Structure 1
């Protein structure tokens, strides 16, 4: 029977993780970022499913050939995952194996669900690989970069009109604001007292930080994300952190930015999806 673990016990199951797997799964198991873990056996788990706390997907971990776990997956998804996903407005199940041996299992077990797939690339950047290039884009008049501090986050003087935009993005990935302020790094671009682009750590494990970037639609195309990302990268490297950038294989502009800065392709993986009926 697939059972959910108590949040206080997640760290006990790090042996299920693949050493070269995705950072998000490790961050949940280590208790840095929120999430839920479901396993085949609480006492002696062999396989599991992680539901990221930002509702951005599911990771299959452990033994991909566990017949007991695999035979229950469809029933578990239908009776537990789907009803809870509907309550929060999720319309797609996106699943990823934390090692590539899961790929064939996912395709076989979920074959009756009109399964689609996509390709992802993971890049990492360490201090010695960083290219301090001259391609840094100029910023149009009226825009300025700010490091997100506790003062800016609290916004007690109301200098930022859309502070909820920042708050909502941070709490999607972090269990608390204090946790983010203590462990994460973030920069934003401000225009006329509104945050229009952000680059922040959305997952972190030890010295490795995953990057999330977003620019509001009406300000896209001005290379604001590049500007915020460069400030973020420099801050992380100054603190001897390793950067982790996960992007779709089809996102050629994002890949070009990463490679121009010095990011190296660490590994690639496949994601699988189906519509939640």
Structure 2
């Protein structure tokens, strides 16, 4: 097996081909495989560099598999699966292999997909203008990013980047500052030419104040102004409710698994 921190052009097209059978539910393949996004929590494992037949792509707390399940490396990858990862949709062959190896330890959960095609800019502007904290909204700059990286909650905005500086140079985000403290932020968890994967974190002491609505509305508005798809994926009722409030349309659900 070979663990790759980043991809060279020679292997990129081969891995894209391996992932063709996977259901696309986020921007991982576009950002990491197609365009080469790197980060401290991003890893790519292949059976070999010359002609890969098996690949595991991990980012943040998610992982996905593609390729030939009969390859001995496929079994090894599945056997070594960490309980920290959610397993994203894969082919039936991969799912059967994962079930065979982990049996009753494998737990199924449901996530929910949304489309942003119906979002109206005027609606987002209204959400921003009518929010009592709008004057505290600002774009994340280098100084803020460095502070956020040292915070136990906000550090997760940068898990798919090499550093806060890498995030500032590659991605973007917006936050709300109260008493000089960043209490809510919406950022690009993944980013590519196609769009941005949305990451929102609000400090527990400041929830139920529409801060997530404010930061998300500004983030999505920026995406739309720059021709990016603001990709929304929900795991719980609150995220579903916020998506609908922002103007997203529910598309459907899919299953994920963890050990």
- TM-score per shorter chain, which class? 0.7 to 0.9
Q: Could you tell me which residue of structure 2 aligns to residue 87 of structure 1? A: none
Q: Could you tell me which residue of structure 2 aligns to residue 16 of structure 1? A: 18
The answer to which of 193-202 and 132-141 deviates more is: 132-141
Q: Could you tell me which residue of structure 2 aligns to residue 95 of structure 1? A: 87
Partner of 2:196: helix, strand, or coil?
strand
**C-alpha contact (below 8 Å) 1:143/1:191 kept by paired residues:** no
How many residue pairs get aligned? The number is 248
Q: Could you tell me which residue of structure 2 aligns to residue 106 of structure 1? A: 98
Q: Could you tell me which residue of structure 1 aligns to residue 237 of structure 2? A: 252
Tell me the CA shift for residue 209 of structure 1: 0.4
CA distance in structure 2 between the partners assigned to 1:261 and 1:74 by the alignment: 38
Match of 2:70 among 31, 41, 66: 66
Q: Could you tell me which residue of structure 1 aligns to residue 58 of structure 2? A: 51
Q: Could you tell me which residue of structure 2 aligns to residue 158 of structure 1? A: none
Partner of 1:132: helix, strand, or coil?
helix
Residues 124/180 of structure 1: CA separation in 2 closer, same or farther (3 Å cut)? farther
**C-alpha contact (below 8 Å) 1:93/1:273 kept by paired residues:** yes
CA distance in structure 1 between the partners assigned to 2:55 and 2:170 by the alignment: 27
CA distance in structure 2 between the partners assigned to 1:41 and 1:8 by the alignment: 13
CA distance in structure 2 between the partners assigned to 1:50 and 1:44 by the alignment: 17
**C-alpha contact (below 8 Å) 2:158/2:189 kept by paired residues:** no
Tell me the alpha carbon deviations over residues 26-68 of structure 1, each in whole angstroms, 9 at most, x when there is no partner: 422232132221223432222211122x3x12211234x4353
Residues 188/16 of structure 1: CA separation in 2 closer, same or farther (3 Å cut)? same
Question: What TM-score results when the alignment is normalised by the length of structure 1?
Answer: 0.75
Residues 130/46 of structure 1: CA separation in 2 closer, same or farther (3 Å cut)? farther
Q: Could you tell me which residue of structure 1 aligns to residue 187 of structure 2? A: 200
Tell me the CA shift for residue 97 of structure 1: 3.0
**C-alpha contact (below 8 Å) 1:214/1:225 kept by paired residues:** yes
User: RMSD over aligned Cα, in angstroms?
Assistant: 3.1
Are 2:12 and 1:27 equivalent residues in the alignment? no
Tell me the CA shift for residue 152 of structure 1: 4.3
Name stretches of at least 5 consecutive residues in structure 1 with no aligned partner. 83-90, 156-161
CA distance in structure 1 between the partners assigned to 2:149 and 2:94 by the alignment: 40
Are 2:56 and 1:39 equivalent residues in the alignment? no
**C-alpha contact (below 8 Å) 2:44/2:55 kept by paired residues:** yes
Partner of 1:173: helix, strand, or coil?
coil
Match of 2:123 among 129, 133, 146: 133
Partner of 2:243: helix, strand, or coil?
helix
Tell me the CA shift for residue 193 of structure 1: 0.6
